[in-house]
Structure 1
Amino acid sequence: MDTLNSTAAEYVLTLDCPETRGIVHAVSGFLLEQGCDILESKQFDSQDDAQFFMRLHFASAGDSAGGPASLDSLREAFVPVAEKFGMQWELRAHEAKHRVLIMVSKFEHCLNDLLFRARIGELPIDIVGVVSNHQDHRGIVEWHGIPFFHVPVTADTKPAAEARLMELVDRLDVELVVLARYMQVLSDDLTRKLDGRAINIHHSFLPSFKGARPYHQAHARGVKTVGATAHYVNAELDEGPIIAQQVVEVDHTFGPEELVAAGRDTERKALSNAVRWHCEGRVFLQGNRTVVLK
């Protein structure tokens, strides 16, 4: 690959389509015709359902006749390739940040971790707001210069609270909702509206110990590892497609509170990984599973 100049524009192309011969050749040929250099290429051919998945990070350096190819021109030029193979695809600027809305209740460790990682540029996200059913974290959120929205929830006010949430999602142009220990169950209607763009952290290594108080359930079973699972939200409680998991070893001396403490790091890491991979275009939904091209 030629050395890229300082004016090169970098892009990420993600696609999936039915498996057939010639996909890689067609995509790489398209990039060659457009004068682009491939920086990273990941792909997976699922033998279970004959589906092909691909993520390409590439650069357009331009030439003496002009600058790098624009995002719009690349999208327009790629349409015939996508149509030929029946692709679902997305092309984004590599440096583009996803607009993220975080939801949290009283446990703050995952919120603080995401705020910090976003602040230092470790996550490709722009946190456009934080929603909570409590006021506890207003100070730290506003210290980061991020709008805080208090949306209390009771059984009677839940429909209004969810309507307020969707109003924020639409008004703030939110691309991803992150439930960072948000301890309210979302309605089926809301999960359908957020399908594929809402990630939850569950403080258990799913599919074990679903629902409430999983660390207490784990203690009752005498587990030797505890963990956390980041997954997409769907209508089934703690059943959404899994994106990332983390575990830590424990033993018989750990009581429920010690398990809670041990699990906090796994929750933070699993959630930040899931958010990063989603926003980098590395996660593809495949039914009730995911393909993650790391």
Structure 2
Amino acid sequence: MNGSTVILQLICPDRSALVSELAGWVAANGGNIRHADHHTDSGAGLFLSRIEWELDGFGLPRHAIEPAVSALAERLGGEAQLHFSDELPRVAIFVSKQSHCLLDLLWRSRSGELPMEVALVISNHPDLEPLCGDFGGRFVHVPVTPATKRDAENRILDLLEEHSIELAVLAKYMQVLSGDFLERFSQVINIHHSFLPAFKGAQPYHRAWDRGVKLIGATAHYVTEDLDDGPIIEQATLSVSHRDEVEDLIRKGRDTERLALARALRLHLCRQVMVYRGRTAVFA
């Protein structure tokens, strides 16, 4: 089934019969449900739901679905987000000099594996511009120094607005976004080269090697003002041994970085991630 779908994400106070009420609302409007996933956080007294149904044959016209969903969420005392699977988010990929995550995302986007439109590639170095040209993407070089950081971030924010960017992906972008930046543009996913919460910050592979770990990993997470502390979306791990040097950990770690970031991005793009109370519920 390849037809367009409607995706509803809802968080509301928990009570009995919510699943029946939501499914009944879709059915009453002639909707055919493809996927329905629910979770109750008993400690917080919250109910989380993701329901996806076919757009074809649904009783409400497309423009009327959002106000109807808003009224439903208000009646339930919750908050809702509505998405359509045929609307491809416009994405900006941020990079520095390392190409492995960027190449992987561009290839997956071109092949249709990641439902998005890569509208921009932004970098604080010019090195990867020829690579982006091979994929037909627009590359913008925005240098960043401690003295020019504020101006550089303002330039980047202008670019995101100019190109109607919905999501930014930090694919080995070796700069920390400021709180002011995140206040103006908060939809950002980062890949960190460790199995968080272990080894936050710089040089995690070096510190992992110093500790003699037998497992390395990568973590894709939403970006917050607290460094490497945002809600986790996806993690990948790989076994290492005493024979591995730091360079081996870095080489092997690139595989976990690519995999974790691609998985996390697909989950986000398919609207399978819900953020609440500083954490995520992932309906995979």
TM-score (norm 1): 0.93
CA distance in 1, matches of 2:142, 2:56: 47
Please say if 1:73 is aligned against 2:73. Answer: no
Aligned to 2:238: 248
**Aligned ranges 1:207-226 → 2 under 5 Å:** 207-226=197-216
Please say if 1:203 is aligned against 2:193. Answer: yes
Please say if 1:182 is aligned against 2:173. Answer: yes
- Residue 9 of structure 1, CA deviation: 4.3
Please say if 1:96 is aligned against 2:91. Answer: no
1:100, 1:126 within 8 Å by CA — same for their partners in 2?
Answer: yes
Aligned to 2:44: 49
Amino acid at match of 1:102: I
2:90, 2:165 within 8 Å by CA — same for their partners in 1?
Answer: yes
Structure 2 portions without partners, runs of 5+: none
CA distance in 1, matches of 2:69, 2:225: 35
Farther off after superposition, 249-258 or 281-290: 281-290
2:279 to 272, 281, 289: 289
CA distance in 2, matches of 1:253, 1:193: 46
**Aligned ranges 1:110-149 → 2 under 5 Å:** 110-149=101-140
CA distance in 2, matches of 1:70, 1:258: 55
1:45, 1:53 within 8 Å by CA — same for their partners in 2?
Answer: yes
- Residue 26 of structure 1, CA deviation: 2.0
Describe the shift of the 1:79–1:192 C-alpha distance in structure 2 as closer, same or farther (beyond 3 A).
closer
Farther off after superposition, 8-17 or 221-230: 8-17
Aligned to 1:20: 15
- Residue 140 of structure 1, CA deviation: 1.3
1:36 to 27, 31, 34: 31
CA distance in 2, matches of 1:60, 1:219: 51
CA distance in 2, matches of 1:244, 1:61: 32
1:262 to 245, 252, 267: 252
Q: Deviations over 1:254-275 (max 9, x none)?
A: 0000000110110001111111
How many residues of Structure 1 are paired with residues of Structure 2 in the alignment? 284
CA distance in 1, matches of 2:211, 2:143: 35
2:91, 2:120 within 8 Å by CA — same for their partners in 1?
Answer: yes
CA distance in 2, matches of 1:10, 1:101: 24
Amino acid at match of 1:122: E
Farther off after superposition, 16-25 or 160-169: 16-25
1:35, 1:61 within 8 Å by CA — same for their partners in 2?
Answer: no
Structure 1 portions without partners, runs of 5+: none
Amino acid at match of 1:24: V
Q: Deviations over 1:212-243 (max 9, x none)?
A: 11100000000001000011111111111111
CA distance in 1, matches of 2:282, 2:4: 25
CA distance in 2, matches of 1:170, 1:87: 29
CA distance in 2, matches of 1:177, 1:20: 36
**Aligned ranges 1:54-65 → 2 under 5 Å:** 54-62=49-57
1:167 to 154, 158, 167: 158
Describe the shift of the 1:79–1:237 C-alpha distance in structure 2 as closer, same or farther (beyond 3 A).
closer
- Residue 293 of structure 1, CA deviation: 1.0
Could you say what the CA RMSD is over the residues aligned between the two structures, in angstroms?
1.5
Local SS of the residue matching 1:76: helix
Please say if 1:192 is aligned against 2:183. Answer: yes
2:157, 2:185 within 8 Å by CA — same for their partners in 1?
Answer: no
2:70, 2:80 within 8 Å by CA — same for their partners in 1?
Answer: no
CA distance in 2, matches of 1:83, 1:118: 36
CA distance in 2, matches of 1:236, 1:225: 25
1:199, 1:230 within 8 Å by CA — same for their partners in 2?
Answer: yes
CA distance in 2, matches of 1:165, 1:287: 29
Please say if 1:235 is aligned against 2:232. Answer: no
